[in-house]
Structure formats: C-alpha cells, structure tokens
Structure 1
Amino acid sequence: MFRITTAILTCLALPALADEDIADQYPDSVLYEKPVEVIPDVWSAIGATAPPTYENTGHNNNLSFIVTGDGVIVVNAGANYKLAEALHTEIKAVTDQPVKLVINENGQGHAMLGNNYWISQGVEVLAHVDAAHEFEEYAGQLFEGMKRYAQENWEGTEPMGPTRTFEEKEVITMGGKTIEVLYSGLAHSPGDIQVWLPEDGLMIAGDMAFHNRIPPIFEDTCTSCWIETWETVFAPIGATYVIPGHGYPTNMAQVEEHTIGYLKHLRGEVGKLLEDGGTLDEAYYVDQSPFAHHDTFEELATKNAGQVYAEMEFE
C-alpha cells in the first residue's frame, strides 16, 4: 500500500504521556501543532491532550484534511474562526487545490464553531443530522464558553451549523480518493461520525476513539452503547491507521486500549460497587489507577465515575 510517513512514526515514538504542561508546539500560530502528513495526502494538526485553554485557543482536538487531487476535504471546522483560518493557511502551504468540503465530526464546539469561516469561503459543511440538532440546541452555550477561554481569539466567530446533513452514510468520490463518511451508532456524543478511506486503510475516527488521554463521559454519553458500537460496527472495519478525535495518530490496538479499555475498566469498577450497594459518593473513589498516567485524568476521572454510576444504576 505505502509506508507510514516519518512524521507519524515520530508521533508514535512519543511517550504515552503527552503532558499538559508541555508548551504550545507551534507558537507562531493559534494552532497547537503544525499539521503533519500522517500518510500520503492525509494531514492532521494534532490538538493538545488537555482541556481547551487560552494557550491552545481551543485546539484540543485533531483538525485533519485530505488532499484528493481535485480538492481538499477538511475534517473539523475548528473551535473558532481564527483556528479555521489558521488551518486554511496551512492547507494553502501544502497544495493549491481548493477546499471543497468540511466535515464536522460531531456537534461539539471544537468541531463546529469554526464553520462560519469555511461557509464565508463558499465551502459546504457536512454533519450528521443528530450533531446538527445538538449544535443548534447548545450553540449559544458553546459560543459563550469558547469566548471565556479564547479571549480575543473568539473574534470573527459566529455560530453556524452545517449546510447539509446525512443520516447513515455518505460516499464522496473526489480526485483519486473515495471517502466514506459513516455513522456507526451511539458512542461518545450525538452524531459522532467517522471518515473512512478504504483504499488507504485509514480511519479518521472522531470521538469514537481517544489516544494519550481519557475520554470525557457526558450526561448523554451511553458507555454501554459506545462499547457495543465499537465491537459490532467500528472495529470490524479493520482500519490499519487511526487518527483519533484526540491524541496522536496510531493503530486500532492503541485506541482500543485507551478508549474501550478505559470504559470497560470503569464500568467494571462501578458495577462491583453497585453489586455491593455502594452510593454515588463512593463511586467517585473507584479505582481508575491503571489510567492515571493518561492526560486529563485529574480533570475527568471523578466526573466520569459519577456519570457511569448514574448510567449503570438503572441498566
């Protein structure tokens, strides 16, 4: 097929801890890191494995793009106008091909709040119908939250949803690439999608998959559904390379350990507590130590335990 590029080998060589104290990797840009070519013609600007902050401008997810030969497809609009604009600048340095489509991986702010930049460039924006509904409901809150951490970097941003939606699968043929935009089922948040390049064996997984950090578990996250979707739909696709929603590009074994391995461990610990008649207050202290070396553990572990307790209490 092809050899994985030097850039991605460098990423894979990094330690599992991508410490949140590491300084901005690209100080000349609002992007946290300069895009790297993961495989030929597929690039990703890897976000900080930390919560959104002023220092990372909200670039704490992966902003990817595919150079097809007849145009560029971007995955994730970015958390604000300035991030979208900065990513576009990087794309122009790589290719003269125009951006023809932006895909939002879900309805979260760092996937959609940069939409208005791309729409102002005349670019279509695609998302799952559930993600579009989610953003429509919470756009105001997401925008205000982004303004608080981004400070002056919010300027130019105007919350806009996608220009078109799909429900199950959309196949795009552009240049020399076939790109499948997939909705695999319930997972991390409403409308989570994946972008699959079957000829390359590469999956841009969105928030189906995390690496180097533990995932946040929201009130509307169904962890049992996430595991089922992974095992019955996502994993059987058989990706060789994975660009996760958060963390460095890697392979299926790594993202499974860091995502489903974590969910199964936490559910197992909470399940034991429930069997013993344990309370919500006790759930916050269940053992998550096997994942304590992952980024965002301090910020998320306790909250995640509470959410899983509330979910499993009525299963």
Structure 2
Amino acid sequence: MRALLIALAALAPGLVAASEDIPDQYPQSVLYSKPVEVIPHVFSAIGATAPPTYENAGHNNNLSFILTGDGVVVVNSGASWALAEALHAEIQAVTDQPVKLVINENGQGHAMLGNGYWAAQGVPILAHKAAAANFADGAPQDLASLKTYARERSDGTTITPPSETFEESRIIEMGDLRIEVLNLGPSHSPGDTQVWIPQWSLLIAGDIAFHERMLPIFDDTCTRCWIETWDEKLVPLAPAYVIPGHGHPTNLAQVQRYTRDYLIDLREKIAAHLEEGGDLAGAFHVDQSRWKGLDTFEELATKNAGRVFAEMEFED
C-alpha cells in the first residue's frame, strides 16, 4: 500500500487518499475535491468513493478536462447545474481557453445531469447513442433522487440530453491533439465511453475501470462481455495513465486487479455455487472477503452476487 501511495503521489501531486469516510475534501466549493493536474494539460476533480450525499453534492465520480491549446474538452458534465458551474470556475482559474466540447461518459445522472449548464453556455455535448437513450429512460428518477439528497444544491438542474451522439467512435482534432472518443464494447452500462489520447498514452476510462471502490453490476450488465471487452479492446491500448470513472488516477495493472480480476473471481464463485445446486439466496453469501477493503463493499457486494447469479443461471 505504501508503494501505491508513493506512485499515486508522483503521478498527481496533491491528491488526498480516497475514502468514503471523508464527506468533503473541498469545503469552499460544491465540488468534492479541487481538480488536480494528472499529467500536463489534463486535470481531474476526483469524486467521493461513497454513494451520493448532501455533503458530496452528488460529486462521486470524476470530472475531467483537457487543455488542447485551442480549447478545453470536458469529460462528464456532473450531477447538477451547480457542479458543472463549479467545474467551469476551476477551468477558468487555470486557462483562458474556452470550453468547446463536453463528453458524457455514460447515461447516469452524475455524468449527464449537469448538461443543462453547459448547454446554456452554448457548448456542444457528445454521448454514445445508447448512453443518450439510457439517460432519457432514467433521467426523471435521477433528477428526483438528486433533489432528495442534494436539496438546494440541485437548484437549476434540468434534464438536458446530449446535443450530439456517436455509435462506434468519434475523432476530435483540437489544437495539436487527437482525442479518440470510443465505445470499446459492452461493460458497466449501455454506451460506456472511453476517451483515449494516444500521444500521451492516457485513457480517461470511465466506468469500465474501477479500483478504489467496488464496481456496481446492474440488471443489464453482461459481466462475461465486460471481461471480453477488457481483454480484447482495452488491454491492447496499453495506457500508461488511467483516470477511472471513480477513484484516483492510476495505471492499467491496478484497475485490472480490481475490475477484471474481481469480475472473474465473482463469476468463478457463482459458477461453483451453481455447480453445487445452490440457489439465489445462497448466492448472496458467496465469499467476497478478498474485496472487503474496497469502498462501497457493504452496499454492493451482495447485490453484485445476486445479479451475477441471475446472469449465469441460464448462461450457455
């Protein structure tokens, strides 16, 4: 652990260790944490590794931005108007370059509910077609949830869809930079999007990759597909730097350990449980103690086991 912390400190000076026990790391802002420069020209405001609360204002994912020399590209609009506005203020504190594009990494509320702020600034917003559809389905519930936990911090937030969509990839040429907006394949949720900057070997991975908090498995998540996408599409990129959807910037080996290896371990446990004739009730109790040090373990471990059981029960 000491070696990991030293490595993270070298990667992005100023980072504070992530913990779901820390309610707010940046009390002078609605943001959970102040953006840090991960590598030259790429910043990320690291969200809480806890579920959304009033204290973290729903900033429990990573809000990143890229300075291209000819404009700024933002990855994730944030969970509310207030979070998007606060991120914009942080951008303006480090550059005079205008924000020219916002990319939504998926269709969840904390990736898209801030779209209204950016649309009001005249900034185009890009998302995968499936993520846009997922947001359209879930946004009313996401907004209602935001208003419940964030209260006045949700003021001004509206349901605003992305203004542009893509299906396989979108290449952004801005300044001297080539930014590849990718959908590597099925993983965490419909339309999961990755932002790849090959000349810097940087992957803003989104929710295909986790390491400090337990990943969530949803009813429509295909864990077998997630592993295949990882092995066949993500690993060949061989990024030197990874900004995951949640948690601090790290490297490929670290997110592989807590994403791919976790999925394989859980599927192996459920497969053995099924082989022994086990039922759904028993699946909730398969041994996941190897992963108990991850934040949100208590909230997600048993749910994940039940969903993998439902996926694998009739899997070919």
Q: If the TM-score is normalised by the length of the shorter chain, which range does it land in?
A: over 0.9
Alpha-carbon distance in structure 1 between the residues aligned to 2:99 and 2:151: 28
Aligned to 2:5: none
In the TM superposition, residue 146 of structure 1 has moved relative to its aligned partner by 1.2
Alpha-carbon distance in structure 1 between the residues aligned to 2:237 and 2:279: 39
Alpha-carbon distance in structure 2 between the residues aligned to 1:63 and 1:188: 18
In the TM superposition, residue 213 of structure 1 has moved relative to its aligned partner by 0.9
Task: For residues 266-295 of structure 1, give each alpha carbon's deviation from its aligned partner in whole angstroms, at most 9, with x where no partner exists.
Answer: 111111000000010000100000100010
Instruction: Please say if 1:35 is aligned against 2:41.
Output: no
The AA in structure 2 aligned to 1:182 is L
Aligned to 2:70: 70
Instruction: Please say if 1:272 is aligned against 2:309.
Output: no
Aligned to 1:88: 88
Map 1:7-22 to 2 at 5 A. 8=12, 11=15, 14=17, 18-22=18-22
Task: For residues 9-32 of structure 1, give each alpha carbon's deviation from its aligned partner in whole angstroms, at most 9, with x where no partner exists.
Answer: 554x94xxx331124110001101
Contact 2:107-2:134 within 8 A present in 1 as well: yes
Aligned residues: 309
Alpha-carbon distance in structure 2 between the residues aligned to 1:247 and 1:8: 13
The AA in structure 2 aligned to 1:59 is H
* TM-score when normalising by structure 2: 0.95
The AA in structure 2 aligned to 1:188 is H
For structure 2, list consecutive stretches of 5 or more residues without a partner in the other structure.
Answer: 1-7
SS of 1:299's partner is helix
The AA in structure 1 aligned to 2:231 is E
Aligned to 1:79: 79
In the TM superposition, residue 177 of structure 1 has moved relative to its aligned partner by 1.1
Aligned to 2:44: 44
| Identical aligned residues as a percent | 63
Alpha-carbon distance in structure 2 between the residues aligned to 1:7 and 1:88: 24
SS of 1:208's partner is coil
Instruction: Please say if 1:141 is aligned against 2:141.
Output: yes
Alpha-carbon distance in structure 2 between the residues aligned to 1:271 and 1:178: 43
Instruction: Please say if 1:53 is aligned against 2:64.
Output: no
SS of 1:270's partner is helix
In the TM superposition, residue 235 of structure 1 has moved relative to its aligned partner by 1.1
Task: For residues 162-209 of structure 1, give each alpha carbon's deviation from its aligned partner in whole angstroms, at most 9, with x where no partner exists.
Answer: 000000011101012110000111000000010000000000000010
SS of 1:199's partner is helix
Map 1:196-275 to 2 at 5 A. 196-275=196-275
Alpha-carbon distance in structure 2 between the residues aligned to 1:105 and 1:273: 34
Task: For residues 196-245 of structure 1, give each alpha carbon's deviation from its aligned partner in whole angstroms, at most 9, with x where no partner exists.
Answer: 00000000000010121110111111111000000001111110100000
Task: For residues 113-134 of structure 1, give each alpha carbon's deviation from its aligned partner in whole angstroms, at most 9, with x where no partner exists.
Answer: 0000000000000000000111
The AA in structure 2 aligned to 1:290 is R
Q: Are residues 181 and 5 of structure 1, via their aligned partners in 2, closer, same or farther at CA, if it must alter by over 3 Å?
A: farther
Instruction: Please say if 1:179 is aligned against 2:152.
Output: no
Contact 1:41-1:66 within 8 A present in 2 as well: yes
Aligned to 2:105: 105
SS of 2:199's partner is coil
In the TM superposition, residue 149 of structure 1 has moved relative to its aligned partner by 1.1
SS of 1:254's partner is helix
The AA in structure 1 aligned to 2:308 is V
RMSD: 1.4
In the TM superposition, residue 53 of structure 1 has moved relative to its aligned partner by 0.8
For structure 1, list consecutive stretches of 5 or more residues without a partner in the other structure.
Answer: none
The AA in structure 2 aligned to 1:82 is A
**Structure 1 consecutive aligned stretches of length 4 or more whose deviation exceeds 2 Å:** 4-7
SS of 1:243's partner is strand
Aligned to 1:163: 163
SS of 1:85's partner is helix
Alpha-carbon distance in structure 1 between the residues aligned to 2:50 and 2:30: 15
Contact 1:131-1:191 within 8 A present in 2 as well: yes
Contact 1:45-1:63 within 8 A present in 2 as well: yes
Contact 1:7-1:37 within 8 A present in 2 as well: no
Alpha-carbon distance in structure 2 between the residues aligned to 1:10 and 1:201: 22
